Amino acid sequence: MRLSLSTYEMELVRKQIGREPLESEWKVIDALWSEHCSYKSSKIFLRTFPTGGENVIMGIEDWQDAGAVDLGDGLALVLKVESHNHPSAIDPFNGAATGVGGIIRDIVSKGAKPIALLDMIRVGDLGSERNRWLLKGIISGIGFYGNSIGVPVVGGELSFDESYNDNPLVDVACAGIVKKDKIIPSVVKKSGLKLVLVGLTGIDGLGGASFASRKLSGEDEIGAVQIADPFAGKIIIDATLEVSDKVEAIKDLGGGGLAVAVTEMANGLGANIKLENVPLRVKEMTPEDIIVSETQERMLFAVEEGNVQSVCKSFEYYEYPCAVIGEITEDKIIRFTFEGKEIVSLPSELLLSPPLYMWGTSTERRGMKPRIAVEIGQAIRKVLTHPDMVSKEWAYSQFDYEVGISTVIKPGEADASLVKLPNGKFLALKGDANPELCLYNSYECGKAIFAEVYRNLATVGSIGVAAVDHLQFGDPRRPEVYQDFVNSVRGISEASKVLNVPIVGGKVSFYNENLRGEAIKPTPLIVMAGISEKFFRPKIDEDQYIVLLGITKDQLAGSLYHKLFGGEEETPNEILYEDLITSKFVTQLIREGKVEFVKDISKGGIIGSLWPIIVKGYSVSLNIDSIIGASRVESKLFSENGGRFILLTQNLEEIISRSRDNGIFSSQIGKVKGREKIGLSLNDKFLDLTEEVDKYYNFLEGMQ
């Protein structure tokens, strides 16, 4: 029996229940007390997040599967982010596919129809055959599941860093729509309700929650990975939405299987479960394995007795297993029995109250590199051909991003995706992380990634209304790792308050390390949703003026330039009010039709923001001296400090005047030129980038 429980925790259990738990009970406690399910090393700090707001219907509440905000017109948005990092490191296809299935069921469990998916993928150096195998499997798994069930993958990220060798990060977010008075809770408040399980239970995914709460060992742990079945997943979606008005609560069976789903749904009450009633995929499964199996495509419903037959009838129509396996009780004991024999009998309070930890921290500065001398033209070429800057069409072309005919801005077209809602408004979605910056200053990074996603939504005319976070780190018992975690939470919390975007849900993933025991770069990630009244599609054309909003600073640490060329550089200081003011100004310009193209300045600095124009076949003239703020040329071109946008417009004088009236520094820094040459003119010195554009489109073609 392999457990993630510490000796201290095991002794704590013995004292609380006054006896030695059975092996089956240890497995249940291990699942409930795992980092994956309990947040025992993070919950104290997560409580600092601002989770409320006038539009928040369901925020970060114990055991709720997703958050929800009011969109007006009687509609609510349900939003969630999850990951399947460890499973994808073992079996990338099924690991990624079941990650998609799990996040979709989280949305459906609120009674919401899933309308859009985002995938944020980070893998190691593509020079490694294993990393190429991982990436191919991850992309195939996401495409297989999403395409099969008809939920569009409308955007995401694909990033590369040797930090993710052995331990890729596979984040998936999902958005759904539901009538706001029809949202279903994940927990119950009264006893006597019948517990109805739909789907077959098998031997895949055994101990998955525990597996996700410890380091990768290199041993064969394939049995902890669930197997994807999107065709069964489609039945789950349709039938669950059909019966949602007949149930009191819905819980997706994810990490920890029945052990976690039953305990969390009971919400401090008790439950009696008869394991012989559980429909099985594999005959003669042991009772212990039935309890902790994480087989996918299953849901748990709490149902009034009079509605049980009606609920099961909807699933039986699809010949999908549906069975009453137990009921909610008053006695606050979680019991699992098998043919009359008691397998587990544990207090709800014990299972839902693991010890909470605050580990030691370290303020040691890390990551600074010696400077490599480089000429500006060479630096531009190196930055623009970095794998993070190349076309990701190879990946998103494998996803059906137009199913449902509601996707109006598709992957690769802008900084955020845009989906049309049933009420005629538009939902903007984006996910972002910046592990390079977090390595240098995780507090500033926490602020910066939240602000960047906020700016990304502004580039399509949208204001953020809700966010979810995923905090991904190494072993929290390492002082430098825990310091990064704590500081990133501080930064995210501060940005959420200043930008007035509540955090309605999230996830923490620790123990992300390679097989040599080295932690990944700290990778907190933010997914944000925004609402726009107007559809805006970016347009690039020659003779457009290039306007820079915001001040460029001599702050290069954590930038792509600094990653490549090093130096003792200053870390960007995110001034959140600059992001707030410039984003709202940009949104207003878009709504008035005053700009044709907007790009926030982030990875690659100003050069990176001009790159989408150049790869469309245009040349760009750039006057370096007109860039306000920074004193050094490399800072002017490559600094990634926040609060800035590139605009393409024909309304130059009006925008310059109005920006200054709004307290925003602005200047014309260049112009879009014709297609006779492809490249960049720096103070009239032309840099031909034809070869770099070819690499942009062809870098990943060998992955086919």
- pLDDT number for residue 675: 82
Q: Rounded to whole angstroms, how far apart are CA atoms 470 and 462?
A: 22
For the CA atoms of 255, 258, 259, 263, what is the dihedral angle to 10 degrees? 100
Q: What is the mean pLDDT of residues 442-455?
A: 97
Write out the E strands in 365-440: 407-409, 417-420, 426-433
330 assigned ligand-binding residue: no
In sign, the C-alpha dihedral spanning 638, 622, 669, 457 is negative
Of the residues 300, 323, 354, which one is the last residue of a structural domain? 354
Q: Is the predicted pLDDT of residue 542 greater than 60, yes or no?
A: yes
469 assigned ligand-binding residue: yes
Least confident residue range of 281-295, 409-423, 491-505: 409-423
Residue 634 lies in a domain: yes
Q: Which residues are the active-site residues?
A: 36, 84
- pLDDT number for residue 572: 87
CB 589 within 8 A of CB 595: yes
In sign, the C-alpha dihedral spanning 191, 192, 197, 203 is positive
Q: Return the bridge partners of 299, or none.
A: 198, 252
Per residue in 142-199, pLDDT tens? 888 888 888 888 888 999 999 999 899 999 999 999 999 999 999 999 999 999 999 9
Per residue in 462-479, pLDDT tens? 999 999 999 999 999 999
Q: Bigger pLDDT: 412 or 142?
A: 142
39 assigned ligand-binding residue: yes
105 assigned ligand-binding residue: yes
Residue 478 lies in a domain: no
Residue 143 lies in a domain: no
What are the structure tokens assigned to 133, written together?
């195998």
Q: Return the bridge partners of 399, or none.
A: none
470 assigned ligand-binding residue: no
Residue 489 lies in a domain: no
163 assigned ligand-binding residue: no
Residue 160 lies in a domain: no
As a residue count, the chain comes to 704
Of the residues 354, 383, 399, which one is the last residue of a structural domain? 354
- Mean pLDDT score of the chain: 90
Number of domains in the chain: 2
Of the residues 291, 324, 354, which one is the last residue of a structural domain? 354
86 assigned ligand-binding residue: yes
Q: Which domain CATH number covers 309? A: 3.90.650.10
Per residue in 648-701, pLDDT tens? 999 999 999 999 999 999 999 999 998 888 999 999 899 999 999 998 888 776
Q: Return the bridge partners of 169, or none.
A: 122
Per residue in 336-370, pLDDT tens? 999 999 999 999 999 999 999 999 988 776 666 78
Least confident residue range of 309-318, 394-403, 414-423, 526-535: 394-403
Q: Give, as one character, the DSSP assignment of residue 245.
A: G
3-state SS class at 595: coil
Residue-wise DSSP of 11-42: HHHHHHHTSPPPHHHHHHHHHHTSHHHH-TTT
Residue 640 lies in a domain: yes
Residue 4 lies in a domain: yes
Residue 434 lies in a domain: no
Q: Rounded to whole angstroms, how far apart are CA atoms 402 and 538?
A: 18
Domain of 25, in residue numbers: 1-33+184-354
